[in-house]
Structure 1
Amino acid sequence: MRVGIEDVTVEAAGRRLVEDVRLTVEPGAFVGLVGPNGSGKSTLLRCVYRALRPAAGMVRLDGDDLHAMDARAAARLLAALPQESSAEFDYTVAEVVAMGRTPHRDRTAAADREIRERAMARTGVAHLADRGFLALSGGEKQRVLMARALAQQPRVLVLDEPTNHLDIAHQLDVLSLVRDSGLTVLAALHDLNLAAAHCDLLYVVCEGRIVACGPPHDVLRPQLLAEVFGVRAHRVRHPETGALRLLFDLLPPTT
């Protein structure tokens, strides 16, 4: 399923947080949003998963206006893992993951259970099924919420910092899972090396605008990283795979 963001502008308290953003995620692609804190990445993603309505512009799924869809119909197509999630009641992990089945009308208990268990197994949380969600660590919660999104069986997955709270092994595992899912994926990522390793295409966001777009190798260049992130970047190659890796230090002080 193709995602199209067309001239989206978001305003709040008299300020433009996102301005005239256009981007495309082709079916089955993994596209990353990268940029410094406060650049507008999360605000843009909130428009995509319908938590915000843009002041101007449109988000389309295969050409259809996402915000004009019925909420249940939209949820059958798109699942989201926001940066912050809260729960007021201490549901079990199995109950939280089962919530992903809510948008589907043609459900049976047996089918729901099979899909839920498969999602928990894929994200490595099956052993937590009977644990209370509120008692979990941050990393465990993140993987449970990923399982819930997968149990929703969407065609589009929107992720806002999906590796937050995860240790290195689980960061690599979750992004590899997303990469291999076959879903259309739009994700905001802080770690530029993870973005380079897993994304087909990167959009660089700065002060609410897209300032660069392309394959990671073409986008993540020292001059752009200095201008956008304020760091000096050194491009190196992974000793085994040859993939792009970045080393960082502070820019030297100007005189």
Structure 2
Amino acid sequence: MRVDIDGLGVEIAGARLVRDVALRAGSGQLVGLVGPNGSGKSTLLRCVYRALRPAAGTVRLDGEDLWAMSPRESARRLAALPQESSSEFDFTVAEVVAMGRLPHQSGAGRTTAADREACAAALRRVAADHLAGRGFLTLSGGERQRVLIARALAQQPRVLVLDEPTNHLDIAQQLEVLALVRDSRLTVLTALHDLNLAAVHCDLLYVIARGRIVASGAPHDVLTPELLAEVFGVRAHRVPHPESGAVQLLFDRLPAG
């Protein structure tokens, strides 16, 4: 499923946080959104998963206006993993994953055999089926992210939106989560803090600064020393990844003056 964002603007309390953003994610692509803290990444993604209504512009899924859909209809097409996904109640893993089936259930909320199979398949897909009976709050950070991805997969969407899915994870867990996302074969739009992870795993990158898209394209073309100095305020040295050949970055402070 294709995602098209055109002319998107967000204004809160008189402050324009996102300005005239245009973005494309082709069917099956993994598209990364990168930028400094406070640049507007999370605000933009909140508009895509309907947590925040934009002041201007459109978000379209295969040409259909996302905000013209009912919440249930949009949830059948798009699933999200926000930056902070906490629970005050210690649901079991199975119960958390089952929440992903709500958009497909009738008003009575009855769980069907198809719901149970979708949840079991999602847990197997992220190699977390052995955790089904565990309390969600007892899990490690990496285990929680796998379960939340399973919940999103159980929703059976065609688009997945992730806001900093590798935050607070160790290196092995970061690689595991991004591999799971890549293997989902869904259209994925994700904000990433780590530029090297973004360079290896994303098909396309959009760089956002002060609420505007300032560069877009393949990681090798976008992550230039000139852009990184301008947007992130660092001096970057580009080296090829020894296995994939993808661009990787080493950083220094910019020289004084």
Please give the TM-score of this superposition, normalised by the length of structure 2: 0.95
| Residue 220 (structure 1) aligns with | 223
Query: 1:142·1:164 contact (CA, 8 Å) conserved in 2?
Result: no
Query: 1:139·1:164 contact (CA, 8 Å) conserved in 2?
Result: no
Percent of counterpart pairs with the same letter? 75
Q: Say yes or no: does 1:153 pair with 2:156.
A: yes
Q: Classify 1:241/1:2 alpha carbon distance in 2 versus 1 (closer, same or farther; 3 Å).
A: closer
Structure 1: runs of 5+ lacking an equivalent: none
* AA of the residue aligned to 2:186: L
* AA of the residue aligned to 2:141: G
Distance (whole Å) between structure 2 residues aligned to residue 180 and residue 121 of structure 1: 13
Query: 1:41·1:188 contact (CA, 8 Å) conserved in 2?
Result: yes
| Residue 89 (structure 2) aligns with | 89
* AA of the residue aligned to 1:249: D
Q: Compute the RMSD of aligned alpha carbons.
A: 1.4
Distance (whole Å) between structure 2 residues aligned to residue 185 and residue 251 of structure 1: 33
Q: CA deviation digits over 1:152-185, x for unaligned, max 9? A: 1100000001111222222112212211222111
Higher mean C-alpha deviation, range 233-242 or range 146-155: 233-242
Q: CA deviation digits over 1:34-92, x for unaligned, max 9? A: 00000000000000000000011111111111011011110000000000112232210
Q: Which runs of 4+ in 1 moved over 3 A?
A: 105-108
Query: 1:4·1:60 contact (CA, 8 Å) conserved in 2?
Result: yes
After TM superposition, the structure 1 = structure 2 runs for residues 201-216 of structure 1, keeping only pairs within 5 Å, are: 201-216=204-219
Aligned-pair CA distance for 1:137: 2.8
Distance (whole Å) between structure 1 residues aligned to residue 245 and residue 32 of structure 2: 21
Q: Secondary structure at the match of 2:18?
A: strand
Distance (whole Å) between structure 2 residues aligned to residue 123 and residue 163 of structure 1: 15
* AA of the residue aligned to 1:146: I
Please give the TM-score of this superposition, normalised by the length of structure 1: 0.95
Q: Secondary structure at the match of 1:141?
A: helix
Structure 2: runs of 5+ lacking an equivalent: none
| Residue 29 (structure 2) aligns with | 29
